[in-house]
Structure 1
Amino acid sequence: MNRRRILLAATALALTPAGRASAAVPATPRLDLTATTGPWLREITLSETRVPQSFAFDNTNKRLYTAQLTQGGRILAGESAAVSGADRSRNGDLCVTRLDWRGTVTGRMYLKGFGHGVSIGAEPVGTSTYLWTETDAVPDSQGNGYGTRVARFRFTDGAVLTTGSTSLVRHDPVPGSDHNTVALDPVHSRIAHRRRADGVWTYALYDLVTFKAGVFEPLATLTQPDVLTGPTFQGYATLGRHLYTLDGTALSDNVHLTAVDWNTGAVLERQLTDAGGELFYREPEGMAIQIPDATSPARLHFGLASEESLTQTDKKASFYYTDTTVR
């Protein structure tokens, strides 16, 4: 039996529901988490030396966007001196890199005070791309800033935005919450919102047009399943009736993919994956939905951060996916 099958066989799948869920999202096929393939792109270089926290696809304009915490030593527009990496993390200062689908960097912009970048969205509008991110970061006890609201803005190569920039449209779907992040479903034009309030992690699914109008009436709401409480959360995506999550840490064989039913909150599948097991350093970071072309099925991508060796530690990004469905 090969290593992949050993790892998958060793995974105990507990089909336990979340604490609560309420929805009536129409049925759609579920993606098979055992059928991962790739890499689509392997160990590409981004703008910063730090790990890629998340990524998103503009499927219309064939662009890939990645979010990283800004590295220490950068001096951005309006700054008089270099800022340390620890302060960048505390502030929630992000770098968003734009790439084509061959992995070539075509632009970058910086976001000051936005958050940790656990999940972002990319919305095509004609030939432009509008990004969805967290904003208005507040540092936690570990010195990492996380967003308390959600922002939408047009990607502009070379721009440096602050939370007070006039180009932002800010949303506050759950006032008083923290760790706000979003993910887009490009097939069904929906947006998922994850947040923490009163110590409870909750996901909500909205129609994108309605959400943009500032009307926060969820199509579905569920509390985070217990199986995701202990592991290190690393990203999520939404497609049709299903929420997909990624968790795990670096330098260990504990990267898990999980599928959850938006309607019931039930965990339908949880799989240990050895995708990218050949990488010297392997840390799960981010999920997103890609539509390769008009005739191809949607792909659920998950990202892996890596480095080449003990002496070459600048982080790289690799992307693996599944597009096989289980009905």
Structure 2
Amino acid sequence: MGRPSRRQVLRRAAGLTGAALLGSAVLSSAGTATAAVATSKRFDLADSSTEWFREIWLQDVRILQSFSFDNTNKHLYTAQLVQAGRHLPGEARTYTGTERETNGDLCITRLDWQGYIIGRMYLKGFGHGVSIAAEPSGNSAYLWTETAAVPDGNNVGYGTKIARFKFTNGAVLTPNSHLVTTYDPVPGSDHNTVAVDPVNSRLAVRHRLSGTWKINLYDLATFRSGTFTPLATITQPSVLTGVTFQGYTTFGQYLYTLDGTAYTYDSAGNRTSDSNTYLTSVDWNTGTVVQRSLSKAGESLFYREPEGLAIQIPDTSNPAAARLHIGLGSEESLTLTDKMASFYFKDVLV
């Protein structure tokens, strides 16, 4: 499918009119694992990838960080860090890209499944956007993201809690907005992010506690009510140690992760590296790595950085026809560096 031009995207986009909002609720509880995850098929990560969108524009021009599907309304939600120079309502000045990254300021874009922008909102002080989740509601959706960002040793803001809020076109939210419900499933943890299994109505929450990375799986409705009893807990597999973690999602019995870095180039624009993008599947019940496969999806893209995983259900009456989507960020050249987003999927279950 061809990508919309920048002019087409802007013509179809609605204006930003929201203002910062205040006040919120916090839910916090604790629990222990009490149930195994039912067996299911898994995606064959060695299967070839199919292109869905190649190089479409998002609201801001920084790299795609993550994405999630509203399969009911056929919407795609993406997360980016806010671009340098963006002046949001209520701000006294513009900020650099580095300042936005330190503060954890995110841009959320809503697109239709033709690749056109149909809404956007901004989140100030939420985090880095490594993973987000969409929960359909009526003709819109609630979004789950990290929130309450704290800068790490590299001055990059990452969330310390989880947030849920209704997507509101044009809004600018802060962590203490009355429109935001905040959850603290693992008190004292940092680098909190969230992913959704849209078929089985489950949430996965990745976090770091005392230097150890873990991913918990929850029933979505139970988590939403404020009871944080994991269905399963995985300590991040050692195969992911020392790599650049770029996203994750969950579907049935399996956790899926994405890691890798962007292509590198010399001063003449010649590529000096090959793909190091890997997909990994992990059994929720045992923590065992079931498959790890190199991905060359979108290998002809310039720059090409892996960014996010999500589950798409093209036909909600047939959830078995699920797709595991890989997000990729790219740019046109060494001098034309505004980032575009591409999406490729795998759909073979074994």
What band does the TM-score fall into relative to the shorter chain?
Answer: over 0.9
Q: How far apart in 2 are the matches of 1:187 and 1:272? A: 26
Matched, 1:171 2:195: no
Q: How far apart in 2 are the matches of 1:137 and 1:36? A: 37
Unaligned runs of 5+ in 1: 1-20
The structure 1 residue matched to 2:114, chosen from 102, 118, 122, is: 102
Deviations 1:243-271 (A, max 9, x none): 00000000141000000000000000000
Aligned residue number for residue 281 of structure 1: 303
| Counterpart AA for 2:349 | T
Deviations 1:217-236 (A, max 9, x none): 00000100000011100000
Aligned residue number for residue 26 of structure 2: none
Aligned residue number for residue 343 of structure 2: 319
Matched, 1:154 2:166: yes
The structure 2 residue matched to 1:246, chosen from 258, 271, 286, is: 258
| Counterpart AA for 1:76 | L
When the two structures are superposed, what TM-score results if normalisation uses the length of structure 1? 0.92
Unaligned runs of 5+ in 2: 1-32, 264-272
Matching of residues 1-327 of structure 1 within 5 Å: 24-251=36-263, 252=273, 253-293=275-315, 294-295=317-318, 297-326=321-350
Q: Provide the aligned C-alpha RMSD in A.
A: 1.1
Displacement over 3 Å in runs of 4+: none
Deviations 1:103-150 (A, max 9, x none): 100010000000000000000011121000000000001111000000
Local SS of the residue matching 1:74: coil
User: C-alpha displacement at 1:23, in angstroms?
Assistant: 5.4
Q: How far apart in 1 are the matches of 2:342 and 2:234? A: 30
C-alpha contact 1:196 1:202 (8 A) present in aligned 2: yes
User: C-alpha displacement at 1:92, in angstroms?
Assistant: 0.1
Task: Return the structure number with greater strand share.
Answer: 1
Deviations 1:18-64 (A, max 9, x none): xxx99511100010001132210110000111101000000000000
C-alpha contact 1:22 1:222 (8 A) present in aligned 2: no
When the two structures are superposed, what TM-score results if normalisation uses the length of structure 2? 0.86
**Number of aligned pairs?**
306
Aligned residue number for residue 266 of structure 2: none
> Percent sequence identity over matched residues?
64
Local SS of the residue matching 2:217: strand
Q: How far apart in 2 are the matches of 1:52 and 1:59? A: 20
Q: How far apart in 2 are the matches of 1:228 and 1:269? A: 13
Q: Which moved more, 1:59-68 or 1:272-281?
A: 272-281
Q: How far apart in 1 are the matches of 2:47 and 2:203? A: 25
